[in-house]
Chains A and B, each alone.
Chain A
Amino acid sequence: MTLGRRRFLAGLGGGAGALALGSSPLARLAYSEPGDAPVRLLIIHKGTGTQPESYDCAGGPGRGFTLSPILEPFADLREHMVIVEGLDVRKKLNTPSEDHGNAMATFMTGGVTERADASSLPLATRTSIDQILATDPGFAGDAPIGSLQLAADARTGQLFTRILSWAGPGAPMPAESQPFAAYTRVFGSLAGGALGPDQLERVRRRKQSVLDFTRAGAQRLAGRLDGAGRERLDRHLTAIREVEQVLHRTVGCVDAAGFERQARAVDPSQPDAQHAQLGRAHLDLVRAAFQCDLSRIATFGWTAGPSLVNFSQLIPGVENVDFHALSHGGVNKVVDEMLVHRWYNEQMAAFLRTLRDTPDVDGRTLLDNTLVVVWSEMRSGQHSFENVPIQLFGGAGGRLEGGRLLRFGGRPTNDLWLTIANALGHPMSCFGDRERCTGTLPGLFDTRGAALDEPSRPARR
């Protein structure tokens, strides 16, 4: 365990003492030095495009722009926000019935999907950006949970429209949509209880015996497999290791019991009526995982690409159909879509404020040390893939200057991840397919160097 890690944990004693210490994170901040907190990355997907007329901001590029009606909920976070315009998802051509999933896979992995044969599923052929960083020790550090995949709504007709993270070619990492399961992954099943030290030790021994047995089985099976089957069992073994670490960890920097209450209070069987609460429960778990350095990377999806959430219960007056249907021609499409996108931004703004108000170990705020990327796989319900809506939030550890709108005419979204990865210390020279990568985006992080209003660059290196 490194010194850095120890700062996040309240010791190994467990039980009430740890929680009491943890309830006062500020007390421990005194031990930390500025500037040595890790950077965290949260990628948030909000499907089904935007409503372009109400999304695009007047003015800019640079600092002089007026927030559009859809982005207005971020007004008080403006200095923590960078709006990125002009990036295109260069997805596989001519896939109308599979546009959402293909654009999502291309956005996250920089490549296109393939099928094993005509009747099988389309699967990504590359690793997604979050998994590249999650397997980079320089970024992921020794946080026990490599990365989190969470979602507010798992409903979909096509598996790949709910996948953000890809462990590698053909290896989707579906998100957890049940807050209690997500809570259990982050905190384990012992954190919120009131066990005495002896009892806790006995429970741990029993759980450890279960893990030892399952690990022996996984190792034996892995030894009989090669290729994709072997990789599958290796990932199973990694998951067993993660559960084991959770078992022996005492999370002291937040009150786990409060998160357990929240996770149990929301009802995943009501994905429409509880859409906000489900999203918030997951995002709050991300905040806890970031705050306690249990993980530095998370992807969160509000819905599948074609959103099946019916907003009529959430926003009075919005048509009583699922949002994907609405985006393809609702009765009051333009107004309804605007209201839905505003609603999402209000939810996200509320969450971002909690990051802003959470102190980090270095004396800055959690928002200062986090990069949040919010995106959609298409520009609008008409399935256009140019100039998709993207917003960045947070300071990325002092690397990103907020309060700006940047326009990059016609660059691929791959360049966004390349630029971010480089800024976060990953030395990649290209993200994804060569033909979908043209170089870093000037002026995004290197604020002082490049002009803010640089037009498009030629699409070659």
Chain B
Amino acid sequence: MALGRLLGFLVGAVATIGAACDGGEPPIADQAPVPARVRLITDAQYGNVVRDLLGDVTVPPLRTPGTAAHQFIHEDVIAVDAPLLVQYRIAAEVIAAELAADAAALGCPASDGACARARVEEVAGRAFRRPLDGAEAAALWSMFELGRADGGEAAGFALVIEAVLQAPDFLYRSELGPATATTEVVELSPHELAAELSFLLLDSIPDPALWAAAGDGSLADPDVLAAQVDRLLALPRVQDHLVAVALDWLEVWQVLETGKDPLLFPDLDPGLRVSMFGETERFVRDVLWRRRGSLRDLLGSRASFADARLAAHYGLPGPSAGAAADAFVPIDHDPQQRAGILTHASLLTSLATARQESIIRRGIFIHRHLLCTPELGRPPFDAIAGVAPLTSQLSESQFAHYRAAHLYCRGCHRVIDPPGRALHHFDGLGRWRAIDPIDQLVEATARLLIGDDVHDVDGAVELAAALADSEQVARCVVDQLAHHAFGQAFTDQIGAATRRGYHGRFEDSDRDLVDVFRTIATSPAFRKRHRGGAP
């Protein structure tokens, strides 16, 4: 070796060590806050992948613990124990039986072995989100032959699918990096990265263009990745999915299910619930895809949608005569009364008890979903029981005054209650009122604590403005979307730098919720993993 090259090597090595000691190189937790891992796919993803692979087949309902329908954050703590394996097995057998009965399922001319083999490898590879190795391809082909011997080519294909849908490579998302990697921080392989991206945005396996970019390795190029993200964000299917994610985040679907006393709320039939949900779904879609994803609009805009039923519920003029009764039309809410999603009948109806509106539920919702206030817990049950004879005689508003005055209650409720008190103009179905149930003028003044700032607000419109302007709300929303994307929360200890970067980009984008997904998908944390224990 030439002396010069050796010296160059040594200098380089020393420089590297020096940088690490100086703190020039960021700590592992900042380079790759997420560990190398496998993640179980959700039940929704299972169904989506099966339909993407096999077209219009019946997917039996799965009930994997930790992933309910509408669950915003997947609780990925369950191993595939025997009960869960049996569920996957039953589902795979039902799907396979449907394929076995369909001579066209394989999609190849009869007795075209080359076509059949190519099709088996293509379907299995896409299901596993990576090309098969030789042993896998051979094993699947001999299964095809085994099934074919018993029941023809459709049966052969069905047996392959039965195995693929129970295979760990299908059920677990691999976030491990290349098998040959030896460094502490690894880059996901292009196929793994493509799968992460497609599960985030399509809730399924990569579509053909993304699959091609993984296959030729070009996805490792940040420009190609960014272009794929932009391409995906323009797809109607991705736009639908992100609307669903936002609705899951705010638990808007609750309005379809929440229990209400039919004697007190005879108006709330299933049709009105659907109309309430329909407003918020259309509003969220409008905000995300036609109003630049603006968090400010989500929280503060009075431009919304209603059908005839909901317009009447709000006391607004409905769609003009001649329009279908269930057609939604743009409406403007009264600027003195409503602003943003928190004043939609959907949320106000579900953030209530079966009998009446609830200051506490409304307050807790805003603390959890918009302020990220640490949970304050519940009071001991004897404490509630002890004062119940008195407090059960109070109106909702009087009870809130009681909690604010009571030395013990006040400790938590001076934080919990104010956002709910500011919404007190709305009854248990979200109808505006000036007079409350005990014939008093509604009081909706509240002193909000947002971070270290105090905001005195009067009513929902001022509350919405304070929240829409708040940096804490902006950070809280980004943190939750990141938690959804990674299945892991970033904190001051883990992923602090990544998190700060996300917050900064969000402000730079004027709080564009769609851009949060772009930011996450193109960030180093998305494509890097650390190995070896917690960072």
A residues adjacent to B (C-beta < 8 A)? 94-97, 117-121, 123, 145, 149, 154, 159, 162, 167, 170-178, 180-182, 184-185, 189, 202, 205-206, 209-210, 212-214, 216-218, 221, 224-225, 227, 229, 231-233, 235-236, 238-240, 242-243, 321, 328-329, 381-383
Q: How far is the CB of B210 from chain A (nearest CB, A)?
A: 23
B300-320 at interface with A (beta carbon < 8 Å)? none
The CA of A205 and the CA of B155, in the complex, are separated in Å by: 14
Cβ of B38: which chain A residues have Cβ within 8 Å of it?
A: 221, 225, 229, 232-233
Chain B's closest residue to A170 (CB) is B77
B residues adjacent to A (C-beta < 8 A)? 37-38, 63, 65-66, 75, 77-87, 89-90, 93, 135-136, 139-140, 142-143, 146-147, 150, 159, 162-163, 166-169, 172, 174, 176, 179, 259, 354, 374-375, 377-382, 385, 388, 483, 489, 491, 494, 533
Cβ of B84: which chain A residues have Cβ within 8 Å of it?
A: 174, 239
Check B65–A159 contact: CB distance below 8 A.
Answer: yes
Cβ of B85: which chain A residues have Cβ within 8 Å of it?
A: 236, 239-240, 242-243
Cβ of B79: which chain A residues have Cβ within 8 Å of it?
A: 167, 171, 231-232, 235-236
Q: How far is the CB of A341 from chain B (nearest CB, A)?
A: 19
The CA of A170 and the CA of B65, in the complex, are separated in Å by: 14
Q: How far is the CB of B150 from chain A (nearest CB, A)?
A: 5
Pick from B140, B174, B388, B483: contact of A329, CB below 8 A: B388
Cβ of A321: which chain B residues have Cβ within 8 Å of it?
A: 259, 354
Cβ of A167: which chain B residues have Cβ within 8 Å of it?
A: 79, 81
Check B172–A221 contact: CB distance below 8 A.
Answer: yes
Cβ of B162: which chain A residues have Cβ within 8 Å of it?
A: 210
- Extra A-B contacts (4), CB below 8 Å, given A235-B81, A239-B85, A243-B89: A181-B83, A210-B166, A212-B139, A235-B79
Cβ of B37: which chain A residues have Cβ within 8 Å of it?
A: 229
Interface centre among A118, A119, A145, A218 (most CB of B within 10 A): A119
Interface centre among B90, B142, B150, B168 (most CB of A within 10 A): B168
Check B150–A206 contact: CB distance below 8 A.
Answer: yes
The CA of A26 and the CA of B201, in the complex, are separated in Å by: 60
Cβ of B483: which chain A residues have Cβ within 8 Å of it?
A: 119
Q: How far is the CB of A378 from chain B (nearest CB, A)?
A: 10
Q: A232-B79, A233-B168, A243-B86 in contact; A96/B63 too (CB < 8 A)?
A: no
Chain A's closest residue to B354 (CB) is A321
Cβ of B89: which chain A residues have Cβ within 8 Å of it?
A: 184, 189, 243
Check B377–A236 contact: CB distance below 8 A.
Answer: no
Check A173–B81 contact: CB distance below 8 A.
Answer: yes
Cβ of A172: which chain B residues have Cβ within 8 Å of it?
A: 65, 77-78
Q: A95-B377, A217-B168, A243-B89 in contact; A121/B77 too (CB < 8 A)?
A: yes
Check A209–B143 contact: CB distance below 8 A.
Answer: yes
Check A119–B385 contact: CB distance below 8 A.
Answer: no
The CA of A118 and the CA of B259, in the complex, are separated in Å by: 30
Q: A172-B78, A175-B83, A180-B90 in contact; A214/B377 too (CB < 8 A)?
A: no
Q: Which 9 residue pairs are nearest across A and B when measured between Cβ atoms?
A: A174-B65, A96-B378, A176-B83, A235-B79, A97-B378, A239-B85, A119-B489, A239-B82, A236-B80
Check A221–B77 contact: CB distance below 8 A.
Answer: no
Chain B's closest residue to A380 (CB) is B381
Q: How far is the CB of A47 from chain B (nearest CB, A)?
A: 15
Check B166–A214 contact: CB distance below 8 A.
Answer: yes
Check B489–A120 contact: CB distance below 8 A.
Answer: yes
The CA of A212 and the CA of B174, in the complex, are separated in Å by: 21
The CA of A277 and the CA of B9, in the complex, are separated in Å by: 75
Pick from B66, B139, B489: contact of A213, CB below 8 A: B139
Q: A172-B78, A229-B38, A239-B82 in contact; A94/B166 too (CB < 8 A)?
A: no
The CA of A267 and the CA of B24, in the complex, are separated in Å by: 62
Chain A's closest residue to B383 (CB) is A96
Cβ of A97: which chain B residues have Cβ within 8 Å of it?
A: 375, 377-378
Chain B's closest residue to A240 (CB) is B85
Check A383–B146 contact: CB distance below 8 A.
Answer: no
Chain A's closest residue to B381 (CB) is A383
Q: What are 13 A-B contacts with C-beta separation under 8 Å? A: A118-B489, A174-B65, A178-B87, A182-B83, A206-B143, A206-B150, A216-B139, A217-B136, A221-B174, A243-B89, A321-B259, A328-B381, A329-B388
Check B82–A96 contact: CB distance below 8 A.
Answer: no
Q: How far is the CB of B493 from chain A (nearest CB, A)?
A: 8
Q: How far is the CB of B74 from chain A (nearest CB, A)?
A: 11
Check B489–A117 contact: CB distance below 8 A.
Answer: yes
Chain B's closest residue to A183 (CB) is B86
Q: How far is the CB of A376 from chain B (nearest CB, A)?
A: 15
Check B139–A235 contact: CB distance below 8 A.
Answer: no
Check B491–A117 contact: CB distance below 8 A.
Answer: yes
Q: How far is the CB of B181 from chain A (nearest CB, A)?
A: 10
Check B83–A185 contact: CB distance below 8 A.
Answer: yes
Cβ of A180: which chain B residues have Cβ within 8 Å of it?
A: 90
Pick from A94, A174, A189, A214: contact of B78, CB below 8 A: A174
Check B90–A181 contact: CB distance below 8 A.
Answer: yes
Interface centre among A121, A182, A236, A321 (most CB of B within 10 A): A236
The CA of A206 and the CA of B100, in the complex, are separated in Å by: 13
Q: How far is the CB of B86 from chain A (nearest CB, A)?
A: 4
Cβ of B150: which chain A residues have Cβ within 8 Å of it?
A: 202, 206
Check A185–B143 contact: CB distance below 8 A.
Answer: no
Interface centre among A173, A206, A321 (most CB of B within 10 A): A206
Cβ of B166: which chain A residues have Cβ within 8 Å of it?
A: 210, 214
The CA of A391 and the CA of B199, in the complex, are separated in Å by: 48
The CA of A184 and the CA of B92, in the complex, are separated in Å by: 13
Check B491–A209 contact: CB distance below 8 A.
Answer: no
Check A227–B489 contact: CB distance below 8 A.
Answer: no
Q: A154-B63, A221-B168 in contact; A121/B75 too (CB < 8 A)?
A: yes
Check A243–B82 contact: CB distance below 8 A.
Answer: yes
Q: A221-B169, A221-B174 in contact; A178/B63 too (CB < 8 A)?
A: yes
The CA of A120 and the CA of B87, in the complex, are separated in Å by: 26
Chain B's closest residue to A203 (CB) is B150
Cβ of A217: which chain B residues have Cβ within 8 Å of it?
A: 136, 167-169
Cβ of B86: which chain A residues have Cβ within 8 Å of it?
A: 176, 181, 184-185, 243
Q: How far is the CB of A319 from chain B (nearest CB, A)?
A: 12
Cβ of B82: which chain A residues have Cβ within 8 Å of it?
A: 145, 185, 238-239, 242-243
The CA of A221 and the CA of B130, in the complex, are separated in Å by: 14
Cβ of B163: which chain A residues have Cβ within 8 Å of it?
A: 209-210, 213-214
Cβ of B381: which chain A residues have Cβ within 8 Å of it?
A: 96, 328, 381-383
Pick from A95, A118, A174: contact of B374, CB below 8 A: A118
Cβ of A243: which chain B residues have Cβ within 8 Å of it?
A: 82, 85-86, 89
Chain A's closest residue to B259 (CB) is A321
The CA of A149 and the CA of B167, in the complex, are separated in Å by: 23
The CA of A455 and the CA of B169, in the complex, are separated in Å by: 58
The CA of A236 and the CA of B166, in the complex, are separated in Å by: 11
Cβ of A329: which chain B residues have Cβ within 8 Å of it?
A: 388
Q: How far is the CB of A228 from chain B (nearest CB, A)?
A: 9
The CA of A327 and the CA of B438, in the complex, are separated in Å by: 29
Check B65–A218 contact: CB distance below 8 A.
Answer: no
Check B168–A177 contact: CB distance below 8 A.
Answer: no
Q: How far is the CB of A112 from chain B (nearest CB, A)?
A: 16
The CA of A4 and the CA of B443, in the complex, are separated in Å by: 76
Chain B's closest residue to A235 (CB) is B79
Cβ of B172: which chain A residues have Cβ within 8 Å of it?
A: 221
Q: How far is the CB of B304 from chain A (nearest CB, A)?
A: 30
Chain B's closest residue to A150 (CB) is B83
The CA of A174 and the CA of B77, in the complex, are separated in Å by: 11
The CA of A225 and the CA of B168, in the complex, are separated in Å by: 13
Cβ of A239: which chain B residues have Cβ within 8 Å of it?
A: 80-82, 84-85
